[in-house]
Structure 1
Amino acid sequence: MSGSLPSGPPSDPKPATCATNSPDETATTSTTTTPSTPEVSSLSPVQIPLSWPPDSSLTLDWIQNLIAAFDWSSKNLPHLNSLQSSLIDDCNENSKVVVVGDVHGQLHDVLFLLQDAGFPCEDRFFVFNGDYVDRGAWGLETFLLLLAWKVFLPQRVYLLRGNHESKYCTSVYGFEKEVLAKYGDKGKHVYRKCLGCFEGLPLASIIAGHVYTAHGGLFRSVSITPSKRTKGKKNRRISLNSETKLLCLGSLEELSKARRSVLDPPWEGLNLIPGDVLWSDPTMKSGLSPNTERGIGLLWGPDCTEDFLKKFQLKLIIRSHEGPDAREKRPGLGGMDEGYTIDHVVPSGKLITLFSAPDYPQFQATEDRHKNKGAYIVLKPPRFDVPEFHSFEAVTPRPVVKAYYDYEDVIDSDEELDLASMVTST
């Protein structure tokens, strides 16, 4: 398979041995951890400025210095304000897979999560389910850190795309302004490079043949046929077949062929599947319908979850995309107090929503905060289909910073968006 779900991942050239900071192997299926706040020296304890290794070969020491540098800098430096494989099939009897939901630039919570779960290594895979940037003040550091892990262990770290890995969202919810502020006159170039990375991120993953993960979730079937065209590729046109007017679930084969290089709308033709995967939400109402709440993507019911799991012989769907603020507006579905919810329980398995940003959002217009926990999931052999939920509280205190976006007036991404402005932003 190619595209969103290519097959045949090679083994890592130099897999790391597991670090000693892994969690207790006898952890129960649901745990909650209260992070401690590390003491921070006023003098830099790390190598700053950061420099790329001369031979372009990353090491564990280099990444640990990167973690320390980001952590120290966020608390001590002045605050500025102005495609690869996603078919994870080389797990063995000693492997664990850690699945992470939205993190939204909350760097210090990500650093804690990595310490709590244990660093990626030969027998510990990580699947990040998108939304690395926006809203939080350290989206750039968060994304660069995860990219460093990806370069260091390319077949152990999987970075999927979220709906906020787009030009529209990053221009509205802070990431673009963050990059421009932190990189100055080189900011536009760095921002374009980040957008290029977003285009290459996979849309979904299949873990050990039993678990499907994607940021938003399920997607429609789209049948396309090329229309008559004149000579030359520039004049090629794609038209939808009439049967696509009736919504039905798409297949993994269609997902593997979907375009993932599109950053923003128009959501039509070949762009429909990535739009669904990134923006769709579950509901307790049966069937498949347009997601009128967001204005993008789909809503799917328990019957669709059962159909998808049964058809592709899966046991779990793990998606993200909805934090505590979004779930307040979703009657019939559980809240996000613990960092996860089990939304559908059907004969073939379960649908889980996972959110890994505690005390979210970082910036909030009201005094009453959600004070939600974040969570990550650990999957273990032999089938990797029984989730262990690990909830954790936010690292406190957060360094005092200002937001990179107008969080008091900006529209929430879980509300109906201005599609016209999304199109013109491309």
Structure 2
Amino acid sequence: MSSGTDQDTPPSASTAEGGDLSSNPITIPLPIPLPIPLTWPPDGRLDLDWIRNLMSVFDWSSKNVPPSDFPSVLPVQIFDALVLAASKILHKEPNCLRIDPDADESSAAEVVVVGDVHGQLHDLLFLLEDAGFPSENRFFVFNGDYVDRGAWGLETFLILLAWKVVMPHRVYLLRGNHESKYCTSVYGFEKEVLMKYGDKGKHAYRKCLGCFEGLPLASIIAGRVYTAHGGLFRSIFMTPLKRSKGKKNRRISFDSEPKRLTLGSLEELSKARRSILDPPWEGTNLIPGDVLWSDPSMNPGLSPNKERGIGLLWGPDCTEDFLKKFNLKLIIRSHEGPDAREKRPGFGGMDEGYTIDHVVESGKLITLFSAPDYPQFQATEERYKNKGAYIVLKPPNFDCPIFQSFEAIAPRPQVHAYYDYEDCIDSDEELDLTSMVTTSEEAS
């Protein structure tokens, strides 16, 4: 299967495929015609040719270059320039993006929605080629979880940042729960960056964390489709308490504890403070954690997500209420791969890369997962061997999803995992909330 590039691979690239690059360093052959090391354009402006080179080089280097030699492919100065350029764009975007692909009536634009990719570089490259690269008539909305678990989270994230820089109004990157200090310290991305950038690793990792803080939380496509990594969120309302009479300059105190859980509004979502590395599970700023960590349920109502220790569970009635209240037809969320779905009775598995979880009067709730044969590193001999998928939304209404499933690129280059996948927490459940606080404080 294609790797999503259109340059010829150097003859030596295929010889390393399947080799253990982390334990058997090799001499890097002259990468003709690939430009290594990558350089920043003299005028500081990236273009499509630069991105194509970036993807080709990363594809080739994943098979030929040991991780510790990554700076010979992408020097830290180029890394800094790319992350800074993307961060400036991301931090200016609202919490909930309004994407209007039909604004230009002269074009028949479509929107591609992508779920978790988790550092599976070669599958991402295939997806981009299979769906068609971003263009004036093709929007992309990525639903988060670009890093962790897979061995090429850094390359994956940087490719998407490059697309964002070149086409900021066609490529939209939402935040996932793994774009956090806690998850990246547990599931491998931090160690990956430290390995690849050596003595500059801590610097590069901090830059990535700063970029994570700027990622928007959700999007609304064509006024009809809501997308977010985890899903729905609660209302955070503060009730004024009585204040004593007769005092000048008196302050109003608020009771921030709601008496019962209710669905939040898009206005509340727009006001949430997203620039935090690890969303809190208590207090008055719970909406980011809900959006990133929540899961659907078959039981009606809204309740705390006790399995994960953060976020919510919401039933079909909540899906209906949310769709009807905001005149929407679809909710597309991600967050659950085959390992998570295996533990969720009543829900479909992730064999095809997507499931339709709720079908209600006003529309549907869909879970979309774009990392096939996930996770890359598994402790058991029997793999899930799930397909990945992406969704295409077409005019005029953009609310009739076209599902495109695809299989993993094989064989993957053999590399060591950057986390202890045999003993690691499975499916992000049973979180160590104390560690979340500690890692967040350390990062700040």
Question: What TM-score do you get using the length of structure 1 for normalisation?
Answer: 0.87
Give the equivalent residue in structure 2 for 1:373. 387
Check whether the contact 2:296–2:315 (CA below 8 A) recurs between aligned residues: yes
Instruction: Answer yes or no: is 1:342 the counterpart of 2:356.
Output: yes
What is the alpha-carbon distance in structure 1 between the residues aligned to residue 280 and residue 136 of structure 2? 41
What is the alpha-carbon distance in structure 1 between the residues aligned to residue 259 and residue 435 of structure 2? 25
Q: State how 1:207-218 maps to structure 2 within 5 Å.
A: 207-218=221-232
Indicate which of 121, 127, 130 corresponds to 1:116: 130
Structure 1 portions without partners, runs of 5+: 1-33, 229-235
Check whether the contact 2:101–2:139 (CA below 8 A) recurs between aligned residues: no
- Aligned CA RMSD, in angstroms, stands at 2.0
Spell out, residue by residue over 1:210-229, the C-alpha distance to the aligned partner (whole angstroms, 9 max, x if none).
0000000000000137999x
Aligned partner of residue 430 in structure 2, secondary structure: coil
Give the equivalent residue in structure 1 for 2:321. 307
What is the alpha-carbon distance in structure 2 between the residues aligned to residue 140 and residue 36 of structure 1? 17
What is the alpha-carbon distance in structure 2 between the residues aligned to residue 155 and residue 238 of structure 1? 42
Give the equivalent residue in structure 2 for 1:78. 66
Q: State how 1:88-237 maps to structure 2 within 5 Å.
A: 88-91=99-102, 92=105, 94-224=108-238
What is the alpha-carbon distance in structure 2 between the residues aligned to residue 238 and residue 275 of structure 1? 25
Aligned partner of residue 245 in structure 1, secondary structure: coil
Aligned partner of residue 226 in structure 2, secondary structure: strand
Give the equivalent residue in structure 2 for 1:401. 415
Check whether the contact 1:357–1:374 (CA below 8 A) recurs between aligned residues: yes
Displacement of 1:80 in angstroms is: 4.0
What is the alpha-carbon distance in structure 2 between the residues aligned to residue 279 and residue 40 of structure 1? 42
Which structure has the higher relative contact order (CA within 8 Å, separation 6+)? 1
Check whether the contact 1:293–1:414 (CA below 8 A) recurs between aligned residues: no
Aligned partner of residue 389 in structure 2, secondary structure: strand
Give the equivalent residue in structure 2 for 1:64. 52
Check whether the contact 2:139–2:170 (CA below 8 A) recurs between aligned residues: yes
- The one-letter code of the counterpart of 1:41 is P
Indicate which of 90, 98, 102 corresponds to 1:87: 98
Q: 1:346 to 1:55 in 2, by over 3 A?
A: same
Displacement of 1:41 in angstroms is: 2.3
Aligned partner of residue 269 in structure 1, secondary structure: coil
Check whether the contact 2:230–2:295 (CA below 8 A) recurs between aligned residues: yes
Spell out, residue by residue over 1:392-418, the C-alpha distance to the aligned partner (whole angstroms, 9 max, x if none).
000001001000001111112432211
- The one-letter code of the counterpart of 1:217 is G
Give the equivalent residue in structure 2 for 1:253. 267
Instruction: Answer yes or no: is 1:318 the counterpart of 2:329.
Output: no
Give the equivalent residue in structure 2 for 1:5. none
What is the alpha-carbon distance in structure 1 between the residues aligned to residue 43 and residue 284 of structure 2? 40
Check whether the contact 1:259–1:270 (CA below 8 A) recurs between aligned residues: no
Check whether the contact 2:279–2:288 (CA below 8 A) recurs between aligned residues: no
What is the alpha-carbon distance in structure 2 between the residues aligned to residue 267 and residue 419 of structure 1? 8
Check whether the contact 1:258–1:270 (CA below 8 A) recurs between aligned residues: no
Check whether the contact 2:279–2:286 (CA below 8 A) recurs between aligned residues: no
Displacement of 1:237 in angstroms is: 12
Q: State how 1:411-426 maps to structure 2 within 5 Å.
A: 411-426=425-440
Question: What TM-score do you get using the length of structure 2 for normalisation?
Answer: 0.83
Indicate which of 51, 55, 65 corresponds to 2:43: 55
Greater C-alpha radius of gyration: 2
What is the alpha-carbon distance in structure 2 between the residues aligned to residue 212 and residue 269 of structure 1? 26
Structure 2 portions without partners, runs of 5+: 13-28, 70-90, 244-250
